[in-house]
Structure 1
Amino acid sequence: MASEQPIVAGVAGRYATALFDLALEEKALDKVRADLDRFDELVAGSADLNRLVRSPVFTADEQVKALEPILKQAGIDGISANFIKLVASNRRLFAIRGIIKAFRALVATHKGEVAASVTVAEPLSDQHLASLKSALNAVTGKDVDLQVEVDPAIIGGLVVKLGSRMVDSSLRTKLNSIKTAMKEAR
């Protein structure tokens, strides 16, 4: 149903939708998702690969030739490798990270997952992490893919971002609110 699909637009959306349909048809969603996640990490972690992906100086053939050993070394093959090379040969490699993001959104919607980002002042124990995930699952009624970030600057508490909603119960925010209230009281 179209209403259940997330909105993906532009070049990234068209490519992601085509890849999603193919991966779903071939029953390879999880493999393609894992391969694209691995490629996205490679691009994010390498200035040279990022330059290859983003720079218009390289021809499509040069990009495809440079990608082949990288994909092989990373263990990315099949649909994923062919897709990345197709994107490069069509001179759209600059959009690959957006395509990957849109693909993740399509897969998450298909699987009934919701992404949540949680910022904490110090690492959570396994018990606290499980409790938090359970609470978020109960609130959403869906399986929550939890990304935890540690930021000591929030002092204590946590900041939860779930879709378009955000709950900030950090000590830093509470202290800033008190400080503002005291200034206004003068």
Structure 2
Amino acid sequence: MSSATRQSNAAARERLEALTDSTSVDLAALGADLLAVTGVLDRSVSLRRTLTDPAASGQRKADLVGALFGGKIGAEALDLVAGMVRSRWAVSRDLVDGIEVLAAYAEIIGADKAGALDEVEDELFRFGRVVASSTELRSALTDGAATATAKGELVKRLLDGKAKPQTVRLVAALVTQPRGRSLEGGLEEYSRLAAGRRERVVALVTTAVPLSDAQKERLGASLARLVGRQVHLNVDVDPAVLGGVRVEIGDEIIEGTIANRLDGARQGLAG
């Protein structure tokens, strides 16, 4: 990501934070409005190029946003998008990505304010694991021949009443507007975004058996000391690891499983 895009995304995030701190904005409606703008720009290469043209004045681009979306989305979403088109973007698609992330972040702020952020993080992770383990479900949710409405309804049938409303809307957004990425990748991205709300990192922990709450607490504290930040644990149970713990934090892997040690021993014997 270029420095221009990074700075523009950071500025948009700050405006959203300020908006939600000072007003009683409907965050679900705000997220839906931003997602609708994402869909429009995703379908129109010429429009997003116009809105990111460095030769055009910021006010001119903001006026175009007003002409296109005024009366169709809420005033808060309109103001945020107008601010974003005034910023500089390395490539036109970065603007669309930024608006989509802002839509997801609005839902995450809503979950945080409702005291449900931990649950949303866990639900996104668990749903990703369910999708990864079911070829049939993944095919249904990513079927290019199915309409967005049909896939959105499927998400609601699967999750309504079983997950937080923010989780349902985030998953539905990924399913109905995949934008060329995998569903699992989108879920991981949103999980990281949720963790970032509290300035913590996500650790994927794989064990042979479920961890107790006390074990999770001790492991989380140890990892926090190691990385210097709070750590949110996503725990996956896989009997194939035999024993011990495997931890992934970003690109870093801490391997302490019996299966890995046995593999090392086998390689040593073979050598």
TM-score of the aligned structures, taking structure 1 as reference length? 0.63
Counterpart of 2:110 in structure 1 is: 28
Instruction: Tell me, yes or no, if the aligned pair for 2:248 and 2:254 is still in contact at 8 Å.
Output: yes
Instruction: Tell me, yes or no, if the aligned pair for 1:121 and 1:150 is still in contact at 8 Å.
Output: yes
Give the partner amino acid of 2:195.
A
- SS of the equivalent of 1:124 reads coil
For these two proteins, the number of residue pairs brought into alignment is 178
For structure 1, which segment, 96-105 or 167-176, has the greater mean C-alpha deviation from structure 2 after superposition? Answer: 96-105
Counterpart of 1:179 in structure 2 is: 266
For structure 1, which segment, 134-143 or 123-132, has the greater mean C-alpha deviation from structure 2 after superposition? Answer: 123-132
Counterpart of 2:77 in structure 1 is: none
For structure 1, which segment, 157-166 or 170-179, has the greater mean C-alpha deviation from structure 2 after superposition? Answer: 170-179
Deviation at 1:108, TM superposition (A): 1.6
Match for 2:146 among 27, 51, 58? 58
Instruction: Tell me, yes or no, if the aligned pair for 1:116 and 1:160 is still in contact at 8 Å.
Output: yes
CA deviation map 1:108-154 (0-9, x unaligned): 22321111122223333433332211101111222211122333333
Q: Residues of 2 paired with 1:107 and 1:164: CA distance?
A: 19
1:94-173 alignment runs, 5 A limit: 98-173=185-260
1:41 maps onto 2:165 in alignment: no
Q: Residues of 1 paired with 2:211 and 2:140: CA distance?
A: 38
Q: Residues of 1 paired with 2:238 and 2:155: CA distance?
A: 35
Instruction: Tell me, yes or no, if the aligned pair for 1:114 and 1:144 is still in contact at 8 Å.
Output: yes
For structure 1, which segment, 71-80 or 168-177, has the greater mean C-alpha deviation from structure 2 after superposition? Answer: 71-80
CA deviation map 1:130-184 (0-9, x unaligned): 2211101111222211122333333332222122111212222223323322332
- SS of the equivalent of 2:202 reads strand
Question: Sequence identity, in percent?
Answer: 21
Q: Unaligned regions of 5+ residues in structure 1, if any?
A: none
For structure 1, which segment, 113-122 or 79-88, has the greater mean C-alpha deviation from structure 2 after superposition? Answer: 79-88
For structure 1, which segment, 168-177 or 49-58, has the greater mean C-alpha deviation from structure 2 after superposition? Answer: 49-58
1:11-22 alignment runs, 5 A limit: 13-14=97-98, 16-22=100-106
CA deviation map 1:48-100 (0-9, x unaligned): 86555322223345556666777765676589649947974x68598665444
Q: CA 1:155–1:61 in 2, change beyond 3 Å: closer, same or farther?
A: closer
TM-score of the aligned structures, taking structure 2 as reference length? 0.47
CA RMSD of aligned residues (A): 4.6
Instruction: Tell me, yes or no, if the aligned pair for 2:123 and 2:167 is still in contact at 8 Å.
Output: no
For structure 1, which segment, 132-141 or 76-85, has the greater mean C-alpha deviation from structure 2 after superposition? Answer: 76-85
Instruction: Tell me, yes or no, if the aligned pair for 1:119 and 1:149 is still in contact at 8 Å.
Output: yes
Q: CA 1:176–1:142 in 2, change beyond 3 Å: closer, same or farther?
A: same
